[in-house]
Structures are given as structure tokens and as C-alpha cells.
Amino acid sequence: MRDRLTLSTLGPLAALFALILLGAGLNENFLSAANVTNVLARSAFIGMIAVGMTFVITSGGLDLSVGSMAAFVAGMMILAMNALQPSLGVGLPLALAGIGVAILVGLLAGLANGLLITRAGIEPFIVTLGTMGIFRSLVTWIADGGTLSLDFSMREFIGPIYYGGILGVSWPIIAFAVVVVIGEVVMRHTRFGRYCEAIGSNDKVARYSAVKVERIQLLTYVALGLLVGFATVLYVPRLGSASGSTGLLWELEAIAAVIIGGTALKGGFGRVWGTVVGVLILSLIGNILNLANLVSPYLNGAIQGVIIVLAVVLQRRKSSAEGR
């Protein structure tokens, strides 16, 4: 269905603008370059994952494991870089090796989820609930309950991946923007996106229309795994460490962002730019609570929860109007 500008389409956008106005009214630093960069850069991790999640949910799937997967990927990346440092030395080759490991581990983790779901035919919820526990437990075990830290000199070297940028725009923001643009084009204008929507609407119809249903579904999980890998590459330079609590609840934030953005939770309709709006709404709420002293920041989760429920109520109205 063409994305017409209706009330339900504009809802999330209007909420985003309202939040921006509210933030600007409450604190003059809200619109400062430093704060905007901070909010966007922190949104980038969840945002990239949420773009991948949009495809998974649109095709009728779900992935609860992405937060744990990010922790696992981060752990592997740090482990690999620390192990290779004596032979490669501090420098670009080691950084590239670390990036390669992160992307590869992300891809394999996504592949594992996807194969279990499409080949073994197990419910996505069950599979990823299982791998969610497995990934996180593995990181905790490898870190022996503590923290895996990148060697200090290497941490200095890759720091600019998070903190640097060009023309005053930091790398995470640039990477996020690229992922969003590609995601939007793929969803709206390519066969892959159309097939995701078709499978999510009715996988039987898709099968009878010569769509390779399992392959498309597998690809959505692999792509999500890859994006978790990318997100982790940007995340590790920020702190230079990983632990059992890295990426905690990211899966919920990513899924919430997708739903707030107007993608149907039961699949069949996906909106990548809506997901971006959803991510920004969620991070702005936290940011405004921190900047303004109106409400305790500890209530961040409660306010996000209200927004999520509201978004679904709006969606329900829309679908009941369509399903006449």
C-alpha cells in the first residue's frame, strides 16, 4: 500500500516534533550541536539494529536475541583483537581484523537464528528466546562474570570510530544514515522488500506466487545479524569493553521503535523511516528527562512504555478502519 500521509502516518512524526519542541522549551542546551550529536550517535546502535528488525518483523518474524547478540559480538571482537595484538601490533590491520571478526560473528549468529527458524521450522519467538539466553550467557562465561576490556593502546586507536567524523558529523550518525537510506530503498523499491511484505501478509499466497519464502526469511535474519555486527563495531570504541550486561534490553528498544514507527507487529507492512522516528522518540524521551528536572529519569521506562502502548492503539484503529 502506498504510504499516504494520513493521521496514523503522521502520528509518530507529530510526536517527534512535539518532543523536540518540548525539549527546546525546557532546556536551551537541547538544540545545541553537542546534545544533538550525542542523541543521534547514541541512537545509532539501536537504530541500525531496528532497521534490520523492521525487515524481520515485516516478514512475520521476530528476533529477541539482538541485545545479547551485540554483547556476544562485542566480546568476540575484543577477545580477537587482544589475541591478535601481539602479532599484528596496534594499528589499522588490527582494527580491520576486529571489524571483520565482529561482522563475521554477527552474520553467523543471524544465520544460526535464521536456519533454526526456516529449516527446523521452530517459532521465531522460541528460537530467539533461546539464543538470547545462549549469547548472553556465553559472554558472561568468557568474561568470567566480569568485563572484557580492550587493551588500552588499541582503545585509543579505535576511539575515533565512535568519537570522530567528517564535517562535524560523527561516524555513527553517518553510518546510521547510510543504513536508513539503503533500508528505505530496499523496503520500498526492491523485490526483497516487496517479498517481505508479501510473506508477512500471507505466506501461503507468497508461496503460491513463486516467492522463495524460506530464503527471504533467512535473509532477513542474516541481514539483522550483519547490522548487529556493524552496530557493535561502532559501539565497542565508545567504552572499549564488553560484559554480561552489554546491550541489555536493546531487543526491546529495537522492537518498540519498529512498532512505534508504524510497522505492523504481525507483519505485512513495514516502514523504515517510521522506525527511525521511533528510535528518535525513544532516545529523546531519555534525553529530555535527563536535561529537565521535571520528572525523575528513573521513570524513563514508564514513559517509553506508555508511548509504545499508545502507538499500538493507534495502529489498531488504523487496521480496523482498513479491514472493513
Partner 1 sequence: MTTLALAGVYRSFGPIEVLHGIDLELHPAEVHALIGENGAGKSTIMKILGGYLAPSAGQVLLDGRPVTYASGPEAEAQGVVVIHQEFNLAPDLTVAQNIWLGREMGGLFLDHRAMREATQGLLDQLECKVRPDARIRDLAVSDRQMVEIAKALSRNARVLIMDEPSAVLTHREVEVLFRQIDRLRSQGVAILYTSHRLDEVSHLADRITVLRDGAVVRRAGRGELTEDGMATAMVGRDLKDIFPPRRTSFGPVALEVRDFHVPPLVHGVSFTLRRGEVLGISGLVGSGRTELAEGLVGLRPHHGQILRGSAPAQVRSLPEAAAHGIAYLTEDRKERGLLLTKTLRENLTLSTLADFGAPIISRKLEDAALTRAISDFDIRAPSREMAVGNLSGGNQQKLLLAKTMLPEPEVIIIDEPTRGIDIGTKSQIYHFIDRLAREGRSVIVISSDMPEVLGLSDRVLVMRQGRVAGELAGEAIRETAVVRLVMGTSEEISQNA
> Which residues are near partner 1 by CB under 8 A?
1-2, 4, 185, 189-191, 194-195, 197-198, 201-202, 204-211, 268-269, 322-324
- Give the whole-angstrom CA distance, residue 295 versus residue 310: 20
Nearer to partner 1, 208 or 298 (CB): 208
| Residue with Cβ nearer partner 1 (156 or 322) | 322
Q: Which is nearer to partner 1, 145 or 323 (CB)?
A: 323
Amino acid (one-letter) located at 121: G
Answer yes or no: are the C-beta atoms of 23 and 289 closer than 8 Å.
Answer: no
The secondary structure element, H or E, covering residue 166 is strand 165-166
- Provide the minimum distance between the beta carbon of 121 and partner 1 in the complex, in angstroms, as a whole number: 17
Residue type, 163: Y
Nearest-approach distance from CB 201 to partner 1, in angstroms: 4
Minimum gap (Å) between residue 172 Cβ and partner 1: 27
The answer to whether the CB of 98 falls within 8 A of the CB of 80 is yes
CA 163 from chain centre, in angstroms, equals 20
57: which strand partners?
none
Q: CB of 43: closest distance to partner 1 in angstroms? A: 28
Shortest distance, position 2 Cβ to partner 1, whole Å = 6
User: Which residue, chain included where needed, has cell 559501539?
Assistant: 235
Q: Which is nearer to partner 1, 82 or 202 (CB)?
A: 202
Minimum distance between the CB of residue 87 and partner 1, rounded to whole angstroms?
Answer: 40
Question: Contact, 127 vs 62, CB < 8 A?
Answer: no
Which is nearer to partner 1, 67 or 267 (by Cβ)? Answer: 267
Count CB atoms within 10 A of the CB of residue 109.
Answer: 28
Query: Quick one: 63 or 184, whose CB is closer to partner 1?
Result: 184
Count CA atoms closer than 13 A to 151's CA, side-chain side.
Answer: 17
Phi, psi of 89 (to 5 degrees): 75, 165
Pairing of strands 169-170, 165-166: antiparallel
